[in-house]
């Protein structure tokens, strides 16, 4: 699974993308975020406030209960503002 990080989330984690294998215990976006938080302080900082995180799976906006499979592309980013 390909993980993409944008804006503040990318800055907190220290990289723009990574490839991981989906652990068998994870079935949705929320579970993935919990798993990522366990990867270190930089991930904890990036995902500390879920209310300001948006997620796209395979380039479609989804909610945190969206199911995942191992070949998905998941993008994490803050809310977009217009102007």
Domain boundaries, the chain: 2-77
> How far is residue 60's CA from residue 38's CA, in Å, rounded to a whole number?
26
Cα–Cα distance, 67 to 83 (Å, whole number): 33
Per the CATH hierarchy, to which homologous superfamily does domain 2-77 belong? Beta-grasp domain (3.10.20.30)
CB 70 within 8 A of CB 21: yes
- The secondary element (H helix, E strand) that includes residue 55 is strand 54-57
Check: pTM over 0.85? Answer yes or no. Answer: yes
Q: Which residues have C-beta within 8 Å of that of residue 6, sequence separation ≥ 6?
A: 16, 75, 76, 77, 78
pLDDT per residue as tens digits for the range 30-79: 999 999 999 999 999 999 998 999 999 999 999 999 999 989 999 999 88
72 three-class SS: coil
């Amino acid at each position: 699974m390909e993980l993409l990080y944008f804006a503040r989330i990318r800055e907190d984690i220290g990289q723009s993308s990574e490839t991981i294998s989906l652990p068998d215990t994870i079935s949705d976006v929320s579970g993935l975020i919990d798993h990522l938080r366990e990867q270190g302080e930089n991930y904890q900082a990036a995902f500390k406030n879920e209310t300001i995180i948006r997620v796209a799976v395979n380039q479609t906006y989804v909610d945190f209960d969206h199911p995942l499979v191992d070949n998905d592309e998941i993008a994490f980013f803050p809310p977009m503002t217009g102007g």
